[in-house]
Chains A and B, each alone.
Chain A
Amino acid sequence: QKEVEQDPGPLSVPEGAIVSLNCTYSNSAFQYFMWYRQYSRKGPELLMYTYSSGNKEDGRFTAQVDKSSKYISLFIRDSQPSDSATYLCAMRGGGTSYGKLTFGQGTILTVHP
């Protein structure tokens, strides 16, 4: 079993839809959770960074963490064609992990006009 599971999709939605992206994890040592957006042949771009359970909102993006269920989500409101990309969840532990991130497989999202 992988430490981080993410449905690779692909996911196709119409413009304006609410998108829900999810990851589950098995390592209870993970404390920091991130969502990255990666356009084709580009490096990942940090979208959201969270530590505690609960919700964090930034513009059209909301990150949700449920540590008890080992489940994280990213919601995109009013999705736009420019949101079409691969979305990667990533997480890491604290202490001596020295920043080593464990990534999900990535979900390919297409928002069509």
Chain B
Amino acid sequence: GAVVSQHPSWVICKSGTSVKIECRSLDFQATTMFWYRQFPKQSLMLMATSNEGSKATYEQGVEKDKFLINHASLTLSTLTVTSAHPEDSSFYICSASGTSGGSEQYFGPGTRLTVT
């Protein structure tokens, strides 16, 4: 149980375009979903927290207009990187929790974004 999927696993896009990444909880209802960013050989950095049906809460320094998060259902959250730049190239990972307190988070396999 507690499986989280992400799509796509790897995406290459050109500067200035937008990219959407999907995060799905396959066998449980995810009350809360989290989006992280990870640079090579570094730890995970939380970008935002989203509760189903509510606006996402962004961490300090994360541009909400650039990283659009939608959590429209209890099994799906999306992250859209708008007007992507090469510095947005990174590994994006989502996690999901079945409780509003996020007691246990289960992570997706990650999406590698390369912006050329």
Contacts and interface: CB of A to CB of B under 8 A. Distances in A.
Interface residues of B, number: 27
B102 A98 contact: yes
B8 interface: no
Contact of A43 (B43, B57, B102, B109): B109
> Mostly helix, strand, loop or mixed at chain B's interface?
strand
A41 B100 contact: no
Q: Please classify how large the interface on chain A is, using the bins under 10, 10 to 19, 20 to 34, 35 or more.
A: 20 to 34
Given A43-B110, A100-B49, A32 B44 contact: no
Nearest to B51: A98
B61 interface: no
Given A41-B91, A98-B100, A88 B105 contact: no
A41 B42 contact: no
Minimum-distance CB pairs A-B, first 3? A99-B102, A43-B107, A103-B43
Interface of A: 32, 34, 36, 41-46, 49, 88, 92, 94, 98-101, 103-106
13 contacts: A43-B95, A43-B109, A44-B107, A49-B103, A88-B43, A98-B57, A98-B101, A98-B102, A99-B49, A99-B97, A99-B101, A99-B102, A100-B46
Interface of B: 2, 4, 6, 32, 34, 42-44, 46, 49, 57, 91, 93, 95, 97, 100-110, 112
